[in-house]
Structure formats: structure tokens, C-alpha cells
Amino acid sequence: MKGSRMFEVESGKVKKPWKGLIYGVPGIGKTTAASFAPKPLYIDLEAGSSELDVARLKGTFKTKEQIVSALRYFLKSDFETVVLDTAQEVETILIRHMLDPDNKNPDKHFSVLDIPYGKGYEYLIGEWRDLIKIFDLLNSNGKNVLLLGHETSQKYEDPTSENYDRFNVSLNKKAVGFVTGKMDFVLFARHEVSLVDRKGSMDKKRAIGSGKRVLHCEETPTIVAKNRFNLPATMPFDGKKLFELIEGRK
């Protein structure tokens, strides 16, 4: 048939580079866990890796152009995974780029609310979209992208039941769904906690920590998480084991 194309068909799973996000409470070990990703290179925006024996880009990163330049360097390097630590600081830089693209006021705090008519949220998603296109380019060239993030607790309004608190990535509430939706995995790390009865009270409970660290890999009513790699719903938070599972998938 005139104008028809020849296609090739492939079957089965195709292992490809990934985009991922690990978030959790401060000090849980996210930055350390990232060191077990394949040949990681850190873009350390919060100096969280200073006590780790890892490869990191030297210098400060305060503008979107500096982050893009760092990603361009990573693309041409022999490193296999870029670690952006943290997603919150990346978003702060994107907001600054929207409102002060020439970085004339480096010490001023900017907010999406500074953009009139409620357009700030829309523009911020556009900035994230541009950055994730670069992540996709990195993936297409065999590179992985790992974002690390802080957690926040948000009130979730359930139209069929009572409202409840839900853990999510601490990003702008309008942009967070877009960002997490583009990831191949979103994992939540926390300390294991159990509730026990308070002495002398049948109604009140108190939280007891076990000292164990837990990684949530699947969505629950109270936790935003997901993965495309058939990871267990929960597992001990062990970076070495985590990336063995991700890289060993078939």
C-alpha cells in the first residue's frame, strides 16, 4: 500500500532507564540510600551529602540555567544516575526563575502567589514540564534520574467517608500530582511506629517506635506511593536492597 510504513514488533518486558522519587522524614537516610543507585552523581542543593563518600558536582546551584547545565554535563559523563537533592529546592529555583529570570534579587523569597490572577500554579507546572522533558532526554540516552524529597502531611477530603491526613511529597499542592505522575516510582520512607494503649486509658493510644526504617512502595489511603517494578508493598528501607531489586528486574 502506497505510503505505508514498515513496523517491527517486540514482545515482553523492556528494561529501560528510570525516573524516580524517594521522599520521607528528615534524617531517615534518603541521601545515603541514593548512593546505591547505579554510578550516582549528586547535584546537592542542600549540602546533604557532605558526610558521604560520593561523587557530587562542586559549586552552588541557584538558577534553572545552572541546573540545566549540570544535567547537560551529566548526560556527557560516565555516570549513570543523577541525584537531585532535593526536589523542594529544585521547585524553589523554578519559582525564582519564573519571577526573577535574571537572578537580580538572589536573596528575595518568591512565591507562586506573587504571579497575579492565579496563574502561578499553571506556570509552575509548565516549568516542571520543561525539566521533566530533560529527564526524558536523559532516559532516552541510558541515564537514570533520582529526586529526593521531604514529606508533608495534607488533609485529604474523602467524599465517601471522613477526611483524613495523607503523606505526600512536600511540593506545591497543584504541581505535586503532575511531578509524581511522571515518575516510574515514588517511594515513602519512614520510621516504623505502632500504637499501644495508654496506661489507665482505654480510649487513648501512644506511638512507640521500633527503631526500624520502612519503605512504602504502593499507594495506601494515607500514603502517596507507586512503582512500576513490582516492588513489595512495604520493605525495610535499605538502599542496597532497593536498587538491587530495581536493577535486577526482568
pLDDT band at 59 (very low <50, low <70, confident <90, very high): confident
Residues β-bridged to residue 41: 82
Domain membership flag for residue 214? no
pLDDT at 240: 97
> Residue 111: inside a domain, yes or no?
yes
Confidence of residue 1 (pLDDT cuts 50, 70, 90): low
pLDDT confidence tier of residue 33, bands split at 50, 70 and 90: very high
Which residue from 147, 142, 148 is spatially nearest to 77, judged by alpha carbons? 142
Structural domain containing residue 121: 19-183
Taking only Cα atoms into account, the Rg of the chain, rounded to an integer number of angstroms, comes to 20
How far, in Å, CA of 94 to CA of 112, rounded? 10
How many whole angstroms separate alpha carbon 162 and alpha carbon 46? 37
DSSP 220: B
Query: Quick count: other Cβ atoms within 10 Å of Cβ 158?
Result: 10
Number of structural domains found in the chain: 1
Q: 68 lies in a domain? A: yes
Q: List strand residue ranges (DSSP E) for 8-136, in order.
A: 19-24, 40-44, 81-85
* Predicted pLDDT at 104: 65
Is pTM beyond 0.75? Reply is yes
Is residue 226 situated within a structural domain?
no
pLDDT band for position 133 (cuts 50, 70, 90): very high
The H or E element spanning position 34 is: helix 30-34
Residue given cell 514540564 in the structure block: 129
Note the pLDDT of residue 4: 67
Whether 137 maps to a domain, the answer reads yes
CB 142 within 8 A of CB 88: no
Q: Is residue 250 part of a domain?
A: no
Choose between 112 and 176: higher pLDDT.
176
For 184-204, the pLDDT digits (tens) are 999 999 998 755 555 655 555
Query: Is 51 domain-assigned?
Result: yes
23 lies in some domain: yes
Q: How far is CA 220 from CA 166, 168, 214, 225, 226, in A?
A: 9, 11, 14, 8, 9
